[in-house]
Structure 1
Amino acid sequence: MVEQSDRAPLLDWEEIPPPDPNQAAQPPPEPQREDDTAATDKRTPMSGTGWSGAVTAVPTAVTYSPTRNITAVVVSRDKPPGCGFARQQPPGSTLPFPGVTARGQWEEKDQIVAVFVVTFDTRSGNMVEWCLPHDVNLDGVEFKSMASGSHRITSDFIYFRKGKYFGLACFANMPVESELERGARMKSVGILSPSYTLLYRYMHFLENQVRHQLHCPGQYSPLEAFYEDKKAVLPPTGNGLVSLCPTWTVSAINRCMHPEMKITHPAGCMSQFIQFFGEQIMVLWKFVLLRKRLLIFSPPPIGVVCYRVYCCCCLANASIPGIGGSVPELRPFFYINIADISTLETEFSYVACTTEKIFEDKKELYDVYIDNQNVKTHRSHLQPLLRLNAADKEKYRKLSEQRQMLLYSQEVDENCTANEEDLFILFFMELNNRIFQTLCEVAGSSDPTITADHMRAMGLDPQGDRSFLEDLLEVYGIDVTLLIDNLCCS
């Protein structure tokens, strides 16, 4: 008799193949001729993208910092040699992947803080069934990893926040012929990490393990092996940050990621996010830039809504030095429930999602409430921002136009390396940079007055965006005078 192993088929959880060591030894490509360069520029729409067609910029790297959970785009502009922030490589240095920054070559540090199994007990409700390490504080995780209303669906995934850590859990619901379990067995298998940006790497493993737990309850050896292999070594200060964390670039991730995995990465859903909200994306952009508290409601499944939380945060990216240092950090909370109420009461700025309708009545906890595509606010001074103006529609038209150009370029050129995520992130970063750059220049001039021409140059409507700009100046502490149509206010 052959003993049945409880090893799951996806125990080999490393989902991103390592770089080919032989690739570094390949000879460098031949220098590109000028006529080839011109042809490439014509067919690659990323040259000259951004909210303004007059700005020539291409994304050289979109970096993910696990230590600070910040997404940033490094933009390369046409500048003479010696300008900008480019760092010269030491003579003779080579990178395994041409065009990928050195930070993308760092080996990822293991940073799994905990692994756990949550089950639904018909008598006790949600409860942590098993975890490693055994002394880790998982209070509340049993509700974060199994969203309210999940009994109506068969599977889901959930991003959430637990104190200083972030979590990802995969949920599954299986019918069983058991009177004790009332005909259904529900479990979630999840992990905690100091960063959310690399949790997606283990989603397939967690999905497989939750199915394994449904069919073979109590067999934890694959999870034990996973934790021993991936557990984080945290500094003794206990601040929850892993020292020497790598910074991955989008180009490196895309190069190594299997096609079927891209949708499981939060950064791989920006196009769906834009399509879902349509022109309303410009309304969300303003609220996010003003660091408001945004709460997204949706019935289960909640996984795709967690992605919308991430995408909202990406709308506020800016790379102007000194901007944002005095404003509240935009914190992605992902999935929340009623157990998070006390935490939300102290937050000045956040983006979160929930399946619990009761939050709609707790207006003191949020500024903006989003139900499906319906964006609303109970704050009277914010209600003018809900109305789309001509400048908003023009910006969305440019965004849609650039997306269509990119899709066409990808269709006719199989070697096109640009992608929608780079385009969308760059678009809003260019938009934000143009606004803050103009405001900083005016504030430092001899006549610190914003006119209608300045508003148009920033891509704003002189009348429709007046209240938005007033709030922006106050939030970021920029000292200028707003002068439009002979109406003056500081």
Structure 2
Amino acid sequence: MANDTSEKTPLLDNEDDSSEYRRSREQVKSLYLKASSQKSGIIAPEDLYCRNTINISASNSNFQDIKEADYIVAIFVVAFDTRTGNIIEWCKPEDSDLDGVEFKAMASGSHTILKDFIYFKKDNLYGLSCFENMPVESELERGARMKSVGILATSYTSLYRHMQFLENQVRHQLETPGRYEQLRAFWEDRKGSLPMSNPGRSLLSPMTEIPRADMRITHPAGCFSQFLKFFGEQIFVLWKYALLRRRILFFSPPPIGVVCYRVYCACCLARHTIPEIPEKPLKPHFYVNIADIDRLETEVSYLACTTEKIFQEKSHLYDVYVDNQNVETHIPSLQDMLRLNDSDRDKYSKLLNQSEEVYASLPRTVSEELYSRDMEDDEVADDEQVFITFFTEQNNRIFQTLLDVASTSDRTLTMDHMRSMGLDPVRDRQFVMDLVELHGIDVMLVIDNPCCGV
């Protein structure tokens, strides 16, 4: 990969950038591109296998003394018992609070597929499990042996690098039930303890310790390109809902693993680097089931996915329901945002062109295998760079323009302001109204004067 990634990741066009916005663009490039321009600045998965905390010295980047919490607090095996259903067959430590994990680690409907992986949230912890369904000649097991092997950690950014081990172990547990030696060894080598300096505080935030480099280990190669390809232009419908911090629920029948990645990608749509607008990362719950209903009722903003169709009937739990590629909302003020406008299509075209430039520059074998977990990070880093940088810059442009208008004497948002933000002056009016209300930005939208466009 070329060292100068900015040449391969053109920025959004804006000839009238203010000096403040130009500075924010430089922040974006520094934050999201520079760490990936040199391989020594990337946190490689093999360098992250450690017990507690790691220090990375990125001599060719701005990251120094970067630390990531890597606390694995439990490892477990879930099995399907034909008499009692899902059970925790084995775990370390033995006194782990795994209440409900047996139904998260083995998603509803998993009996219909052979393999899957599931990301989920358990209280303030995040989990990853690998599931497999193996046919057996056993009347007691009704012809199928189903198990999941998983871990719980304090951050979802530390989970993906253990995927291959979990996949191997679930196959091992199916073929040789009751043999836990390798799991015990893994636990002894990787276990961590919760931070005890202040037991009352919340666990470490998964997105605050490493501004950019954490992204290298949270998804497989091609995750963002698959997300873009799957939703197409509708990605900008999801973008508006994510920026408004709505409750978004993705539905899909099993397998659910790839949908967990859609949850993760959707979280990235709302990123920005404008310091005057406090960034409140969307909460990824990943896989949820009916046992999570009480928790979801208390959330004002989240992203999650499910295999249980019953959620569609419980509209009080979500604002936006995504059934594969069909995006729906029952909130009247959000329904106009379902309709794409010319500004959305223009943004999509720019994003697509940038992505195609990246993929065209990759060797054919690389572009064909973008979704392989075995690829080198540096070969596909641009996949992530294009996506993250594009939406961060787009969001920066909107917020900086709104703040600039709020600092003027009349605080009036005009048609030209809307266009400079890459928005439709008429069709994106409700979106902007909701956005300024959400963040308490004091601007005047002239909504009753057609000549003003907003």
- TM-score w.r.t. the length of structure 2 is 0.83
Q: Report which of the two structures shows the higher radius of gyration computed on alpha carbons.
A: 1
CA distance in structure 2 between the partners assigned to 1:485 and 1:445 by the alignment: 21
What SS does the corresponding residue of 1:306 show, helix, strand or coil?
helix
Deviation of 1:60 (Å): 3.2
What SS does the corresponding residue of 2:75 show, helix, strand or coil?
strand
1:113·1:194 contact (CA, 8 Å) conserved in 2? yes
Instruction: Give the aligned partner of residue 34 of structure 1.
Output: none
Deviation of 1:131 (Å): 0.6
**Structure 2: which amino acid aligns with 1:419?**
D
**Structure 2: which amino acid aligns with 1:302?**
I
Q: Does 1:304 find its partner at 2:266?
A: no
Instruction: Give the aligned partner of residue 469 of structure 1.
Output: 432
Deviations 1:195-217 (A, max 9, x none): 00120010000000000000111
1:289 to 233, 243, 258: 243
Deviation of 1:133 (Å): 0.8
More helix by share: 2
CA distance in structure 2 between the partners assigned to 1:397 and 1:322 by the alignment: 30
Change (3 A) 1:135 1:295: same
CA distance in structure 1 between the partners assigned to 2:300 and 2:98 by the alignment: 25
**Structure 2: which amino acid aligns with 1:372?**
N
CA distance in structure 1 between the partners assigned to 2:174 and 2:115 by the alignment: 12
Change (3 A) 1:378 1:106: closer
Q: Does 1:49 find its partner at 2:20?
A: no
**Structure 2: which amino acid aligns with 1:60?**
S
Change (3 A) 1:291 1:315: same
Instruction: Give the aligned partner of residue 137 of structure 2.
Output: 177
2:389 to 409, 426, 434: 426
Instruction: Give the aligned partner of residue 309 of structure 2.
Output: 357
**Structure 2: which amino acid aligns with 1:276?**
F
What SS does the corresponding residue of 2:231 show, helix, strand or coil?
helix
2:271·2:281 contact (CA, 8 Å) conserved in 1? no
CA distance in structure 2 between the partners assigned to 1:44 and 1:267 by the alignment: 21
Change (3 A) 1:439 1:74: farther
2:288·2:306 contact (CA, 8 Å) conserved in 1? yes
Deviation of 1:473 (Å): 1.1
**Structure 2: which amino acid aligns with 1:99?**
N
1:295·1:352 contact (CA, 8 Å) conserved in 2? yes
Instruction: Give the aligned partner of residue 30 of structure 2.
Output: 60
Instruction: Give the aligned partner of residue 192 of structure 1.
Output: 152
Instruction: Give the aligned partner of residue 102 of structure 1.
Output: 63
Structure 2 spans left out of the alignment, 5+ residues: 38-55, 367-377
Instruction: Give the aligned partner of residue 351 of structure 2.
Output: 399
Deviation of 1:331 (Å): 0.6
CA distance in structure 2 between the partners assigned to 1:157 and 1:41 by the alignment: 36
**Structure 1: which amino acid aligns with 2:360?**
Y
Instruction: Give the aligned partner of residue 92 of structure 2.
Output: 132
CA distance in structure 1 between the partners assigned to 2:202 and 2:221 by the alignment: 23
2:248·2:322 contact (CA, 8 Å) conserved in 1? yes
Deviation of 1:157 (Å): 0.3
Deviation of 1:59 (Å): 3.1
**Structure 1: which amino acid aligns with 2:108?**
S
CA distance in structure 2 between the partners assigned to 1:287 and 1:207 by the alignment: 34
Deviations 1:8-66 (A, max 9, x none): xxxxxxxxxxxxxxxxxxxxxxxxxxxxxxx98799222x3236587775733449xxx
Q: Does 1:115 find its partner at 2:67?
A: no
Change (3 A) 1:60 1:345: same
Deviation of 1:380 (Å): 1.3
1:309·1:334 contact (CA, 8 Å) conserved in 2? yes
Instruction: Give the aligned partner of residue 443 of structure 1.
Output: 406
Deviation of 1:309 (Å): 0.1
CA distance in structure 1 between the partners assigned to 2:126 and 2:222 by the alignment: 19
Change (3 A) 1:148 1:469: same
Deviation of 1:324 (Å): 3.5
Instruction: Give the aligned partner of residue 232 of structure 1.
Output: 192
CA distance in structure 2 between the partners assigned to 1:114 and 1:282 by the alignment: 38
**Structure 1: which amino acid aligns with 2:174?**
L
CA distance in structure 2 between the partners assigned to 1:210 and 1:312 by the alignment: 29
Instruction: Give the aligned partner of residue 160 of structure 1.
Output: 120
2:240·2:337 contact (CA, 8 Å) conserved in 1? yes
What SS does the corresponding residue of 2:157 show, helix, strand or coil?
coil
CA distance in structure 1 between the partners assigned to 2:415 and 2:121 by the alignment: 43
2:69·2:154 contact (CA, 8 Å) conserved in 1? no
Deviations 1:83-136 (A, max 9, x none): xxxxxxxxxxxx965534434x75765410100000000000001011111111
**Worse-matched range after superposition: 193-202 or 418-427:** 418-427
Instruction: Give the aligned partner of residue 14 of structure 1.
Output: none
Instruction: Give the aligned partner of residue 335 of structure 1.
Output: 287
Change (3 A) 1:471 1:126: same
1:386 to 330, 334, 338: 338
The percentage of counterpart residues that share the same residue type is 58
What SS does the corresponding residue of 1:113 show, helix, strand or coil?
strand
What SS does the corresponding residue of 2:29 show, helix, strand or coil?
strand
CA distance in structure 2 between the partners assigned to 1:204 and 1:416 by the alignment: 20
**Structure 2: which amino acid aligns with 1:407?**
Y
Deviation of 1:226 (Å): 0.9
**Structure 2: which amino acid aligns with 1:284?**
L
CA distance in structure 1 between the partners assigned to 2:205 and 2:413 by the alignment: 44
What SS does the corresponding residue of 1:419 show, helix, strand or coil?
helix
Instruction: Give the aligned partner of residue 88 of structure 1.
Output: none
**Structure 2: which amino acid aligns with 1:272?**
Q
1:204 to 164, 170, 174: 164
Q: Does 1:273 find its partner at 2:227?
A: yes
